[in-house]
Amino acid sequence: MVAYVGEAAVSGVSLVDYIMALLINLFGALATGGAVIAGQYMGRRQLGKAREAANQLYWFAAVVSIVIMLGVYLGRPLIIHGLFGHISPDVSRNANTYLTIVAASIPFLALYNAGAAIFRTMGNSKVSMKIAVLMNAINLSGNALLLYHFHLGTEGVAIPSLVCRMVAAAIITVMVTNPKLPLHIEKTFRHRFDWTMIKRVLSIGIPYGLENCLFQLGRILVLSLVSTFGTAAIAANAVSGTIAAFGILPGCAINLGQTAVISRCIGAGDYEQAKFYSKKILAIVFVANFGMNVLILSSLPMIMKLYGFSELTASLTIQIVWLHALWATFFWPIAFTLPTTFRAAGDARYPMGVSITTMIVCRIVLAYTLGKYMHMGVVGTWYAMFIDWIARSALFIYRYYSGKWMRYRAI
């Protein structure tokens, strides 16, 4: 739908979406910290403590997200012109319009992530699924109405995104305050922060959040390199990223559920069960990613018809999607599913250290080496990412079999 506005709009929206992805991952990390703590308390059958962890998570996410939103608005010129480097005036204008509108959705994203994590910890992921379906219905219908009927530009893409996130946050907030739920939020605007509990949540959330933020920041730095390859490269990189995200979608979804499963096992002190489920879930992710990528590749010719791209942009997109499908099938599960077990056990610093190191050495340094100095262009930046996955996988396999992840305690 964004392609209907033009390649400059696709490029501008995609640049800002990298920033939004960074924030979504930050809130996801904070929610994961809360889910691990609440899950371990549930494993110990301490529901009172679990509810307190959920309550502290929700309020802390709300406050932090408002501060971040204000920071994004104040730093908007730096984000557009500093992080993204030299981009054309059309791309810059579209990026600025999109960021101005969607930045207002930051607090709603935080509340939705916190609420969804609480429901997953209770073993109920249907709630977030149903809300996600509603979000997409609002987003897609809103885009269609504003783009095709009212002929708005980038605003027609941004406004529905803001509205659907507001609706999602409102619904999940109402649902999570139901006192009949094992985990629920108190219906009151009076709140006292329990910093001991928050520190426990942050003991998982901060390393994971820092890992995600620096990981996304690395992507943004690489994106500043991609922006020097021209609008065709930016557009191909954006669409490839969107399509490739579906290739790892099963693994990302399963990882969210894995946090709840493993944290309960750890809370109950049953490490054999934790190892059993870790291996079983990893096998499921391998099969699920394989199936999804086969579906994507078989549908790729039809998908590409949705975009009115030039021959160069289309060729680059097809090449990148094929490469990603192959590498994501064999290396992504170990690089991203296995460390979920470590975090659920309380071992969050090791995955952080590994991710930051490989991101700097592989993703950033190799991206510039392959993309710029070896003249591989945007494809070279994707090869750098794949090498990052291999390095992560090797280090995480070593950590798992060393057994050191079982020595940590989150509560």
**Could you tell me if residue 192 is left (phi over 0), alpha (psi between -120 and 50 degrees) or otherwise beta?**
beta
Task: Report yes or no: 237 and 226 within 8 Å, Cβ to Cβ.
Answer: yes
Q: What is the DSSP letter of 310?
A: -
Q: Report pLDDT digits (tens) over 334-346.
A: 999 999 999 989 8
The pLDDT of residue 401: 94
Contact 154, 12 (CB under 8 A): yes
205-217 pLDDT per residue, tens: 888 888 877 777 7
pTM equals 0.76
Element (H, E) at 120: helix 106-121
Cα 66 to the center of its chain, rounded Å: 19
Q: What is the pLDDT of residues 288-317, one digit of tens each?
A: 999 999 999 999 988 888 877 788 888 999
**Higher per-residue confidence, 195 vs 220:** 195
What's the CA gap between 221 and 223, in Å, rounded? 5
Count up the domains in the chain and report the number: 1
33 pLDDT band, cuts 50/70/90, is confident
Interatomic CA distance for residues 17 and 24, integer angstroms: 10
Task: Count Cα neighbours of 387 within 13 Å in the Cβ-side half-sphere.
Answer: 19
Confidence class for position 135, pLDDT limits 50, 70, 90: very high
What is the 3-class SS of 125-136, one letter each residue?
A: CHHHHHHHHHHH
Of 315, 305, 334, residue with least CA distance to 395: 334
Q: Tell me what the pLDDT averaged over the chain comes to.
A: 89
pLDDT digits (tens, 9 = 90+) for 169-205: 999 999 999 999 998 988 888 888 888 888 888 888 8
Q: What is the extent of the structural domain holding 42?
A: 2-407
Query: What does the DSSP 8-state code read for residue 229?
Result: G
User: Binning pLDDT at 50, 70 and 90, where does residue 405 land?
Assistant: very high
What number is the average pLDDT over the span 249-268? 90
* Angle, CA of 254, 257 and 262, to the nearest 5°: 115
Mean pLDDT computed over 258-263: 90
At 276 the pLDDT is 96
pLDDT of residue 298: 95
Distance CA 210, CA 221 (A): 16
Counting Cα atoms < 13 Å in the Cβ hemisphere of 92 gives 15
DSSP secondary structure string, 58-96? Answer: HHHHHHHHHHHHHHHHHTHHIIIIIIS-S--HHHHHHHH
What pLDDT does 410 receive? 74
Does an H or E element contain 183, and which?
A: none
Split at pLDDT 50, 70, 90, the class of 83 is: low
Tally of helices (H runs) and strands (E runs) in the chain? 17, 0
What is the dihedral sign for C-alpha 63, 64, 68, 71? positive
Q: Give the Cα separation of 261 and 276 in Å (integer).
A: 11
Answer for the pair 351, 339: CB distance below 8 angstroms, yes or no. yes
Distance, CA of 237 to CA of 243 (rounded, Å): 10
Beta carbons within 10 angstroms of residue 20's beta carbon: 20
Rounded mean pLDDT, 105-134: 92
- Tell me the percentage of the chain whose pLDDT exceeds 70: 99
The percentage of the chain sitting over the pLDDT mark of 90, rounded to a whole number, equals 51
**How many CB atoms are located within 10 Å of the residue 89 CB?**
8
Residue with tokens 């960074």: 22
The more confidently predicted of residues 277 and 90 is 277
Q: Greater confidence, 85 or 31?
A: 31
How far is it, in rounded angstroms, from Cα 334 to Cα 331?
Answer: 6
Q: What pLDDT was estimated at residue 402?
A: 94
pLDDT at position 228 is 83
Average the pLDDT over 317-339 and give the result. 95
